[in-house]
Structure 1
């Protein structure tokens, strides 16, 4: 399965840093996920057989940034806990809503898919230990959305 990606990697001293772009908030989350997964393995070698639904919510003044960290961290969790290398991402819905007290709640509903880890079959690149809060940025721009993320390798 081939997906159009829209991200660039930036220079970083020790870790990997990227900016993901998207016309919508859903697309920027998808592209950030694909950028993260592409650091781990050549996602063109993945033939998705197993799907996982991800539903997350977060609150607070840095809600969308926290949601990005939580979402990308969930991808790492699935890799480790489910022993599945992911290669496809579809964000059904993402955005902000109000809770009963009128506070902003950022949410995402996505489906990710992949196949069991098999190092003889997949082209692995490097291990991503964590998604960092260092320099995290998710914002609307005149042309859509951007997310800047640093991955701890």
Structure 2
């Protein structure tokens, strides 16, 4: 609708300037009257056409439901790096950690593919939102609800008893 209003405004402006040019041209060629009052031979100024722009339909007021802060995507952690981090965290040997991490990832992958929810306290709750079959794979969209408490700040009571 705004385009239509602009065209109307542009057309009326062009018409005004064309009329003004014609009036100016006629007044310069016509003999000037002795009295300052307009006479019958002097053309009167045309009435200005009032252009009323159309108002756009009122849009509903927008409200912000939640404030989202964007985060920059970092490089993904691959399985060898994950195993190295678990080795550093636990202090166990890599040959002992690797089969456990691979088995855990296999179990989690099968559970999510079956549509099961996982509740793993340090990680949080993992819920399947969407499953889509594509040519070479199954795309599973999950939602992770991570608790706000800092992981690692709370000591495991069993680990304290073993010390």
Which TM-score bucket, shorter chain as reference?
under 0.3
More helix by share: 2
**With CA pairs under 8 Å and 6+ residues apart, which has the higher RCO, 1 or 2?**
1
| TM norm structure 1 | 0.26
More strand by share: 1
| TM norm structure 2 | 0.25
Structure with the greater alpha carbon radius of gyration: 2
